[in-house]
Chain A
Amino acid sequence: MKLSSLPRAELRRRLREEGLGLSIGPFNTSLKSHLSVVAEGLEQLYGAFTLTSDTDFIDFRVALNSPPGLRSWFRPQVNFSFDGFVPFKPLPQIQAFAMFEWGLNWVIANNAHQYLIIHAAVVELNGVVCILPGTPGSGKSTLCAALVCKGWRLLSDEMALISTATGDIYPVPRPVSLKNQSIEIIQNYSSDAVMGEVVMDTAKGAVGHMRPPQLSVEQSEQPGAPGLIVFPKYTAGAESCLVSLTQANALLKVAENSFNYSVLGLQGFDVLGDLISKCACYEFSYQSLDEAKEKLESLI
């Protein structure tokens, strides 16, 4: 059963009481919250996701609720908790849905060590997975959003999950996080882009999330085969430029962008070495999304 099939009242009841179970890529997540902004965000962006059944194992139990005391009423705030542990300081309650996304990123990055996890957007075209590692501000999410609006499959806008057992890349096709000018750029780029509420004045500026393509969500149990690693860099005023990167250099750069390379130790090195051996690697500076799309498609 999809979340979109759940009546509004039942969605809110589950969030308040036993927790709403969602299948998100390889993870079953239970979310509890009494906040309407969370329920609304889920309705806008998670409609295509499958609900877990009562017998499914839940990997992550998270909650978004108001801290106790006066802050429930005066400048209300929200806390994110994972199995009862509160890893972050509270945020303004209006940012609760964004905090769910950020919190879930943190939970996966710190717990899913059956994968080598790279900070990267991951997309696929014609059976070839393209990993786009990038530091904040590199434009990876903007490029990722543009590509998936034009037919590429979304595996993730935030993390590449590389199975330590098989080397396959597992999708977690959640909403694409866009910041500041990128929100308007993507809204103008494609009429298919469906944005949730934009929240202003977060630590990252204005933040909005784009709904993941329905087909990508439906394919979220199908891992992909890696073929390309491209380090994108948005450069205003520059023509797009694709430069080949040696595989040894690419390994070092990818390791720098990994959440758990050092946790996995030698296993991480072996998984990464195998991954790099299967991929052509590039550095890519771009300004125009259309040009970038064309250039990347020429590599497939």
Chain B
Amino acid sequence: MDARPLFYLCSPELLHSYCWGEQCAVYHAESGDTHLLNKFDLAVLQLIDESPASAKDLAVEFEQVFDKGATQYIQILLSNLAELGLIETFESESAR
């Protein structure tokens, strides 16, 4: 059994986006802030919206997108998204 933080969307119903090509503008209705994300970052947010996930889960999920460095990219991204107030964590006991 290991305890690891699971990331979840703070308020999924309050997140709205427009995407053009690889870039997306994301509006967070709770804060009134608008953010610029790339399409991959938004896909990570959407995955977290479906079900809370750990950094490790996400790195595995998106492993094929990266030649290498998925874990590092995901960790930095999650830290940035948390800083923007879009996601939060809770500790979960997991047998995986």
Residues of chain A touching chain B, judged by Cβ–Cβ distance below 8 Å, are 246-249, 251-252, 255, 262, 265-266, 269-270, 273, 276-277
Contacts and interface: CB of A to CB of B under 8 A. Distances in A.
B23 A246 contact: yes
A8 to B, nearest CB: 50
A269 B16 contact: yes
Interface of B: 16, 18-21, 23-25, 27, 29, 32, 34, 36
Contacts of B24: 248
B29 A266 contact: yes
B32 A265 contact: yes
A246 B18 CA distance: 12
B32 A251 contact: no
Give the top 9 A-B pairs by smallest Cβ distance, nearest first.
A248-B23, A273-B18, A247-B20, A269-B27, A251-B25, A248-B25, A266-B29, A246-B23, A262-B32
Contact of B18 (A249, A265, A276): A276
Contacts of A251: 18, 25, 34
17 contacts: A246-B23, A247-B20, A247-B23, A248-B18, A248-B19, A248-B24, A248-B36, A249-B23, A252-B25, A265-B29, A265-B32, A269-B25, A276-B18, A276-B20, A276-B25, A277-B18, A277-B20
B16 A266 contact: yes
B41 to A, nearest CB: 12
A265 B29 CA distance: 7
A266 B27 contact: yes
A248 B36 CA distance: 7
A97 B35 CA distance: 41
Nearest to A266: B29
Nearest to B34: A255
A275 to B, nearest CB: 10
Nearest to B29: A266
Contacts of A252: 25, 34, 36
Contacts of B20: 246-248, 276-277
Given A247-B21, A248-B19, A277-B20, 20 more contacts: A247-B18, A248-B23, A248-B25, A249-B23, A251-B18, A251-B25, A251-B34, A252-B34, A255-B34, A266-B16, A266-B27, A266-B29, A269-B25, A269-B27, A270-B16, A273-B18, A276-B18, A276-B20, A276-B25, A277-B18
A182 to B, nearest CB: 32
Contacts of A277: 18, 20
B23 A269 contact: no
Contacts of A262: 32
Given A266-B16, A270-B16, A276-B18, A249 B36 contact: yes
Contact of B21 (A246, A266, A269, A270): A246
A248 B41 CA distance: 14
Contacts of A269: 16, 18, 25, 27, 34
Contacts of A265: 29, 32
Contacts of B16: 266, 269-270
A270 B36 CA distance: 15
A273 B25 CA distance: 8
